[in-house]
Chains A and B, each alone.
Chain A
Amino acid sequence: MWYFVSPQIVFGDGALDALDELEGRRALIVTDGTLVRLGLVDKVKAHLDTAGIEVHVFDAVEPDPSVQTVRKGVQVAQEYEPDWIIGLGGGSPMDAAKAIWVLYERPDLQAAEINPFIHLGLRQKARLITIPTTSGTGAEVTWTIVLTDTEEQRKMGLGSRENVADIAIVDPAMAAGMPPQLTADTGLDALTHAVEGYTCTWHTDMTDGLCINAARIVFQYLPRAVADGSDMEARERMHNGATCAGLGFGNAMASLAHAMGHVLGAVFHVPHGRAVAIFLPYTIEFAAREAPERFAELAALVGQPQGLPLHRDKERARALAERIRDLCREVGNPTSIAGAGVERVAYEAQLDKLIDDAFNDTQMITAVRAPSYDELRQLFLYTYEGKAVDF
C-alpha cells in the first residue's frame, strides 16, 4: 500500500492567469527579497488583485530557510489570518511556505515535529499555492520540507503528505529570468531527483515514467536553457521537467546523493542543486557494484553511449555516471567538491560531521546499496577529489 499525492497542476504559458479566478479573501505571499526586486511578486499580486484578493508579502526567506525564519512567518500569518498561503520562489520560499502553513494551522507543533507519521488536519484556516520561479526543486509538487537548524548546521527533512500544495502554478515565464548558473544548478537538481526517484528502493510504477521523462528532458534541454536563457522552448520544457521529477521522486524518495548533498550544503553552503549533482555520479558508481540494474535501464532510456552491450549492467550504469559528469561540464558546473571551491583543510575538519549527518539523513534509508560508515567516508573523499568510485 502506498500513496501518490499531487496538487492540481496548472502549467504552460499563461498559467499564472489561473490566479484571476481564485476565490478567497486574503493571501500571504511567502517569498524572498530578490523576487520582490525582480518584479515577480508584483506579477502575482496583479493577478490576485484581479481576483479581488487582499495581499500581504512576507519576503524574509533566506536560502536554506531556518526554523527561526519560519517562526517569524508563522507570526505574520497569525496576525494577518490569510485563507491562502502562496509559496513563490525556488525551493527555499516554497518549503518555508509549507512550514508556515502547517504551523499556522497547528500552532501546537514545532517545526521539527512536522512528520509523516501523525495526522495534521490541515486546511481548516487556509490552503496552499506554490509557484516555482526556478526549474529544478520540484517543491511545488512535493510534500517535503527542508529547513536548516542553524545552531547545529544541519538540514532537517520534514513534512507530511497532507502538506502538499492544493494548486501548483508552473508558468515558464516565472523562470525566464534565471541567470545561467542558477539555471544549471536547479536543472541538475531536477536530474538528480529523476535519477534517484527512479533508482531508490521506494520507486513505484506510478513514479517511474515521470522520472524517465524528466531525465530525458534535462539531458535534452538543460544545455540549451543555460546557453540561451531566451530560448523559451527550452525554458518551458525544463520547467515542466522539473515538476515531473518532483512528482516522481516526491512520491518515491531521493537517495544517497541527496543525503550527502544536504550535509555539504548545510556546512559549506554549496547551492543544493550543485551539491547533489556533484555527488550523483559517485553514488551511481558505488551502487552499480551491487545493484546496477535500474541505473543501466535508465542509461538505455535516456540514450546510452554507442557500443555498450545490453547485458553489461555495471558498465552501462557507470556510463550513466559519466554522462552526468559530461552534462555538468557542459553547463559549467563542477564535478568534484574541490572544484566547487571547498578548501581541503576545512573539508577534512568537518568530515566526521558530514558522515554522521549524512548517515542519519532521511534520504539515506532508500539507497539501493547502503554504505557502511567507512564506505561513506570513502565516498566523501573520492567525491572531493573527483576520483571515480572503485569500491
Chain B
Amino acid sequence: MAFKFPSDEWIKELSRQLNGSEIYEKSAKDWEGDFDFIVEPDDAFQGEPAHLYLDLYHGQSPSAKQLSSPDEKQAAYVLSAPFSAWRKVIEGKLDPIQGMMTRKLKLEGNMMKIMRYPKAAKEIVSCCALVPTDFGD
C-alpha cells in the first residue's frame, strides 16, 4: 500500500518507520524538538501549503499528524520546500543536507542545536525513503 504525499497517513507512517530505526534511536537519543514540514505548492502540487507535524523526543517519534492549520502547532523547527523538492528528497535524488546548503530546502530553528545531530537528520530522510509513497502521478 502506498501512502499519498503529503497526507496525515504519510507522516504517521514516517513516524512509525522512525520508531523502528535503531540508527535513529541511537543518533537522536538526546534530541528534543518537533518539526513542521511544510510542503509548498508548485507546478506538480496545487492548493494550500501542507503542514506535516512530527514530534521527536529522545530517539523516538511520539506522535505525528497533518495539521489542519499552520497555527495548530508551533514546532521548534520548520523545514519548508516546494513539493517537487520534497519528492526528490524522498526518492533519494536530493541529499537533504545538500538541499539545505543550496537553499532548496529552508530550515528555521535553533541551528546551534541541530548542527549536533547530522546523523539523526540524515536518518529521518532515510526513513522517508522507506515509506511507500504515492505522489499522485
Contacts from A to B (Cβ < 8 Å): 1-3, 110, 112-113, 115-118, 156-158, 161, 201-202, 356, 359-362, 364-365, 370, 372-373
Asked if A360 and B118 make an inter-chain contact with CB atoms under 8 angstroms apart, the answer reads yes
Kindly list chain B residues whose C-beta atoms are within 8 Å of the C-beta of A116.
Answer: 100-101
Whether A2 pairs with B115 at a CB distance below 8 angstroms is no
Q: Is the interface of B mostly helix, strand, loop or mixed?
A: helix
Instruction: Report the nearest B residue to A158, measured CB to CB.
Output: B115
Q: Is the beta-carbon distance between A1 and B102 smaller than 8 angstroms?
A: yes
Query: In the bound complex, what is the Cα–Cα distance between A372 and B23 (angstroms)?
Result: 6
Q: A360-B117, A364-B118, A364-B119 are in contact. Are A112 and B26 (CB under 8 A)?
A: no
Beyond the given pairs A359-B27, A360-B116, A373-B23, 11 more chain A to chain B contacts, judged by CB atoms under 8 angstroms and listed by A's residue number, are: A113-B111, A117-B100, A156-B115, A156-B116, A202-B98, A360-B117, A361-B119, A362-B115, A365-B97, A365-B118, A365-B119
Q: How far is the CB of B129 from chain A (nearest CB, A)?
A: 13
Q: Mark B114-131, 1 if CB is under 8 A from A, else 0.
A: 011111101000000000
- Tell yes or no: B58 within 8 A of A by CB: no
Contact check, A115 vs B111: say whether CB atoms are below 8 A apart. yes
Q: Which of B102, B116, B122 contacts A365 (CB 8 A)?
A: B122
A-B contact pairs, 17 of them (CB 8 A): A2-B98, A112-B115, A113-B111, A117-B101, A156-B115, A156-B116, A157-B115, A158-B115, A161-B101, A359-B26, A359-B119, A360-B116, A360-B117, A360-B118, A365-B97, A372-B22, A373-B23
When the two chains form the complex, which single residue of A3, A112, A356 contacts B102, counting CB atoms closer than 8 Å? A3
Residue of chain B at shortest CB distance from A358: B119
- Which single residue of chain B is at the shortest CB-CB distance from A154? B116
Give 7 closest A-B pairs by Cβ, nearest first: A112-B112, A373-B26, A116-B101, A365-B122, A117-B100, A360-B119, A115-B111
Kindly provide the distance from the CB of B30 to the nearest chain A CB, expressed in whole angstroms.
9
Please tell me if B107 contacts chain A, counting CB pairs below 8 Å: yes
Task: Give the complex CA separation of A363 and B117 in angstroms.
Answer: 12
Distance in angstroms from B6 CB to nearest chain A CB is: 22
